[in-house]
Amino acid sequence: MDKKFDVVVIGGGPAGYVAAIRAAQNGLNTACIDAWLNRDGKAAFGGTCLNAGCIPSKALLESSELYHRAKEEFSGHGIGIENLSLDLDAMQARKAGITSQLSGGIEALFKANKVTGLFGQGHLLPDNKVRYTPHGGEPELLEAEHVILATGSSPIELPMVPFAEGRVVDSWGALDFTAVPKRLGVIGAGVIGLELGSVWGRLGADVTVLEAMDDFLYMADTQVAREALRQFKKQGLDIRLGAKVSASEVTADGVQLSYDDQQGGHEIQVDQVIVAVGRRPYTAELLDPLAGVDVDERGFIAVDDVCRTTALNVWAIGDCVRGPMLAHKGSEEGVVVADLIAGKIAEMNYDVIPSVIYTAPEIAWVGQNEQELQAAGVNYKSGAFSFAASGRAKAMDHDAGMVKMLADADTDRVLGVHIVGPLAGELIGEAVVAMEFQASTEDLQRTIHAHPTLTEAVHEAALAVDGRAVHAINR
Q: Where are the alpha helices (DSSP H) in 135-210?
A: 171-174, 191-202
Helix, strand or coil, per DSSP, at residue 365: strand
Of the candidates 248, 226, 156, 233, the residue with the CA atom closest to the CA atom of residue 201: 233
Find the catalytic residue in 77, 451, 459, 471: 451
Helix, strand or coil, per DSSP, at residue 326: coil
The answer to whether the CB of 174 falls within 8 A of the CB of 277 is: no
The answer to whether the CB of 149 falls within 8 A of the CB of 320 is: yes
Helix (H) or strand (E) holding 6: strand 4-10
* C-alpha distances in Å from residue 287, one per residue of 128, 280, 292, 407: 11, 16, 9, 44
Beta-carbon count within 10 A of 379 CB: 9
Of the candidates 296, 247, 306, the residue with the CA atom closest to the CA atom of residue 273: 247
Helix (H) or strand (E) holding 98: helix 88-113
Question: What is the C-alpha to C-alpha distance for residues 195 and 60, in angstroms, rounded to an integer?
Answer: 10
Question: Which residues fall within 8 angstroms of residue 372, CB to CB, at 6 or more apart?
Answer: 416
Question: Which residues fall within 8 angstroms of residue 241, CB to CB, at 6 or more apart?
Answer: 189, 211, 213, 214, 215, 216, 261
Catalytic annotation present for 451: yes
The answer to whether the CB of 427 falls within 8 A of the CB of 364 is: yes
| 240 φ, ψ (degrees, to nearest 5) | -110, 115
Question: What is the C-alpha to C-alpha distance for residues 308 and 288, in angstroms, rounded to an integer?
Answer: 17
Beta-carbon count within 10 A of 349 CB: 10
Question: What is the C-alpha to C-alpha distance for residues 319 and 93, in angstroms, rounded to an integer?
Answer: 28
Question: What is the C-alpha to C-alpha distance for residues 143 and 125, in angstroms, rounded to an integer?
Answer: 10
Question: Which residues fall within 8 angstroms of residue 353, CB to CB, at 6 or more apart?
Answer: 323, 324, 326, 328, 329, 366
DSSP state of 455: T
Q: What is the rounded end-to-end Cα distance, in angstroms, of the chain?
A: 68
Q: Which residues are catalytic?
A: 451
